[in-house]
Amino acid sequence: MVRSLNLDNLRTFAIVVEQGSFSAAATRLGLTQPAVSLQIRQLERHLGVSLIERIGRRAQPTAAGLELLGYSERFDALVSSALDAMARHASGVMGRVRIGTGATACIYLLPPILRSLRQRFPTLEITVSTGNTSDFVKAVEENSIDVALVTLPAAGRMLDVTPVLEDEFVVIAPAGTDLPERVDAATLTTRPVILFEPGGNTRRIVDDWFAQRGVALKPIMSLGSVEAIKELVSAGLGCAVLPGMAASQAARLGELVVRPLSPGLHRTLAIILRRDKRLHLGLKETIRALMALGPQRTSKPPQ
């Protein structure tokens, strides 16, 4: 049973057919005519068929040779594509980067990073998944994603965890709402409050802040979409506690009242990566771009 083909012999066969002679093929390939003849004989013995016949002074394919020629052209195209793909990997501008992050960071942090990476590395394939920290700790450990930007705490036996920025929580309320300059837990108990849905670190941090103040807050609604929460607040359904990055534009435009909490509350976002992860250039550049978020977004530099 034939299990493999010598691609060099197959290419020589195709060139003999293209040139119509062994001598012309030898010249094209930079080989001697006996060497070309030997490659054709080896291929014929391997396949158990005659591939070339001489008609007058011209070498032409047999019926079997003509059929093999069709495969040869497809093999050649596949080999060329494979070599091109590997060359792009070797040059460092090609590759795939799988990023995981929370929905808020995906909306407010990643777009300029992804745009810059796309402009610099047009052939870099980037996919982004959203979810909670616990999801991405597992995904990074299992190597189903390459890098994640998550809300701490995050820990894993195989992980490197690098804090990159701090994001202050704020209270948002409909435009025109009378709120103190800093909003404490007691004030929030007097108002309808909308929070992130339970299950992620962002909600857990907020719940812990209320618990430390001795307040068992019962939100009127819990949603998984920061944009949906903002729309509900704009519609006058209540106020909300959100990461500051989600409210900065609305504050600038005067669409919502935005106030810090008292005492202040922050969450820390960090990059998580497998310690043994091999970093190709595309992944290195992605990590570098994520690390640069710190000085741009925080009130104090990352440690």
The pLDDT tens digits of the residues spanning 156-209 come to 888 999 999 999 999 999 998 999 999 999 999 999 999 999 988 999 999 999
Q: CA–CA separation, 230 vs 295, rounded Å? A: 27
Domains plus CATH for the chain?
7-91 (1.10.10.10), 97-164+269-297 (3.40.190.10), 165-266 (3.40.190.290)
155 forms bridges with which residues in the sheet?
Answer: none
Which of the residue ranges 6-20, 24-38, 68-82, 197-211 would you say has the lowest mean pLDDT? 68-82
Q: What residue type is assigned to position 60 of the chain?
A: Q
Neighbours of 119 (CB within 10 A): 8
How confident is residue 298, by pLDDT bands cut at 50, 70 and 90?
Answer: very low
Helices (H), 153-255: 185-188, 201-212, 226-234, 248-253
Structure tokens at 231: 């729309």
Q: CA–CA separation, 72 vs 80, rounded Å? A: 12
Residues whose CB falls within 8 Å of the CB of residue 36, separated by 6 or more in sequence, listed in order: 12, 16, 22, 25, 26, 29
pLDDT at 94: 61
3-state secondary structure of 12: helix
How confident is residue 93, by pLDDT bands cut at 50, 70 and 90?
Answer: low
pLDDT above 90 covers a percentage of the chain that reads 63
Give the mean model confidence (pLDDT) for residues 8-37: 91
Checking if the pLDDT of 284 tops 60, the result is yes
Q: CA–CA separation, 191 vs 240, rounded Å? A: 10
126 forms bridges with which residues in the sheet?
Answer: 97
How confident is residue 300, by pLDDT bands cut at 50, 70 and 90?
Answer: very low
Nearest to 135 by CA among 224, 242, 221: 224
Checking if the pLDDT of 116 tops 70, the result is yes
pLDDT at 299: 34
Checking if the pLDDT of 4 tops 80, the result is no
Nearest to 135 by CA among 102, 113, 110, 182: 102
Q: CA–CA separation, 170 vs 257, rounded Å? A: 10
User: Could you tell me the CA-to-CA distances from 286 to 93, 122, 164, 257 in Å, in that order?
Assistant: 12, 13, 14, 35
Q: What is the mean pLDDT of the chain?
A: 88
Give the mean model confidence (pLDDT) for residues 96-110: 93
- Using H for helix, E for strand and C for coil, what is the string for 71-84? HHHHHHHHHHHHHH
Checking if the pLDDT of 37 tops 90, the result is yes
pLDDT at 232: 95
Checking if the pLDDT of 215 tops 70, the result is yes
What's the whole-model pTM score? 0.65
Which of the residue ranges 4-8, 114-118, 136-140 would you say has the lowest mean pLDDT? 4-8
Checking if the pLDDT of 296 tops 60, the result is no
pLDDT at 89: 63
Buried b (16+ CB within 10 A) or exposed e, 6-24: eeebbbbbbbbbebeebeb
